[in-house]
Amino acid sequence: MGILDGKRVLVTGVITDASIAFSVARLAQEEGAEVVLTGYGRLSLVSRIASRLPKPAPIVELDVTNAEHLAALAGRVREHVDGLDGVVHSIAFGPADALGGNFLNTPWESVATAVNVSAYSYKALAMAACPLFGERGGSIVGMDFDAQVAWPGYDWMGVAKAALEATSRYVARDLGPRGIRSNLISAGPIKTMAANSIPGFNGFEGVWETRAPIGWDMKDPEPAARGVIALLSDWFPKTTGEVVHVDGGVHAMGA
C-alpha cells in the first residue's frame, strides 16, 4: 500500500528521465497514484519519456502562459481522470539575457518572461486546476531553488524564484479555505536539461561538495522527488505556505 493510493496527480515539466518531474511521476505511480502529464511544443518527446514510466500516463497539452490552454485544462484532464488530488508545478524559464551576469542590463521584456513562466504560472496553474479538486481539497507542490541569497549567474531567475516563493504563500492563503495546500520543494542543483541553460551551473558542484553536511549527488533527482511525494500525501495535512529544503543542508550552513 503506497502513500498516494487512490490519488490523482497532475505532473508538469517531464522532458527527460533525468528531471525531477520524471522521478516525481515515477514515484507517484509506485506509491499508488494515477498520473496525468502535461507537455507543450514537444509532445512526442514527452510521450517517449513517459513510456519509461512504470505505467502508461496520459498527456495533455498545456502552455501555462496561454489563457486558452489554461481554460481548457480541467476539461482535458477530465478526459482521463474524474478529478485531482495533487498538482506538481515543475516549470521555469528565463531568456538567455536574464542569466549569466547580465543582471543590471537585462531588459524588462526578458524579466517579464522569466517571472511570468516561473512564478505567475504557479498561480495560473493552481486556478486552472482548482475546479478539479473535490471537497477534501488536495496539494499543490512547486519546484524551487533557494531564493534567500544571490547566486552567481542566476540573476533574474533568482528573482523569479523569490517571486515563486511569495506566490506560493498567497496561493496557500487564498486556497486554504478550500482545503488546498500550497508548498515548495527547494532542491539542490540537479544536472537536468534546464540546468544546462544556466551559465556557470557547474560552479554549483563545488559549493555542494564542500558545504552539504549530508552530501549531495547532482545526478540524483530522487531525494527532491521524494520530498514532493511526501507533500502530495496525507502525511502533511496541516502544512501549507512552506518551503521545504531538500538540498543536503547547504541552505543552513554559513560560509
Q: Is 191 annotated as a binding residue?
A: yes
User: Distance between CA atoms of 127 and 121, rounded to whole angstroms?
Assistant: 10
User: Any catalytic annotation for residue 40?
Assistant: no
The single-letter code of the amino acid at 157 is M
Give the cell for residue 148: 534567500
Catalytic, out of 7, 122, 123, 154: 154
Q: Is 55 annotated as a binding residue?
A: no
Q: Is 161 annotated as a binding residue?
A: yes
User: Distance between CA atoms of 43 and 25, rounded to whole angstroms?
Assistant: 16
Of the candidates 167, 187, 80, the residue with the CA atom closest to the CA atom of residue 126: 167
Give the cell for residue 79: 478526459
The single-letter code of the amino acid at 169 is R
Q: Is 219 annotated as a binding residue?
A: no
Q: Is 49 annotated as a binding residue?
A: no
User: Distance between CA atoms of 24 and 26, rounded to whole angstroms?
Assistant: 5
Q: Is 190 annotated as a binding residue?
A: yes
Q: Is 106 annotated as a binding residue?
A: no
Contacts of 215 (CB under 8 A, 6+ apart): 248
Catalytic, out of 7, 55, 161, 238: 161
User: Any catalytic annotation for residue 154?
Assistant: yes
Look up cell 550552513; give the residue: 253
User: Positive or negative CA dihedral for 194, 199, 205, 210?
Assistant: negative
The single-letter code of the amino acid at 187 is A
* Cα maximum dimension of the chain: 53
**Contact (CB, 8 A) for 184 and 243:** yes
Q: Is 7 annotated as a binding residue?
A: no
Q: Is 126 annotated as a binding residue?
A: no
User: Positive or negative CA dihedral for 72, 78, 81, 82?
Assistant: positive
Q: Is 13 annotated as a binding residue?
A: yes
What is the crossing angle of helices 108-115 and 155-175, to 10°? 40
* Binding annotation: 13, 19-20, 63-64, 91, 161, 190-194
Binding site, annotated residues for NAD(+) = 13, 19-20, 63-64, 91, 161, 190-194
The catalytic residue positions are: 154, 161
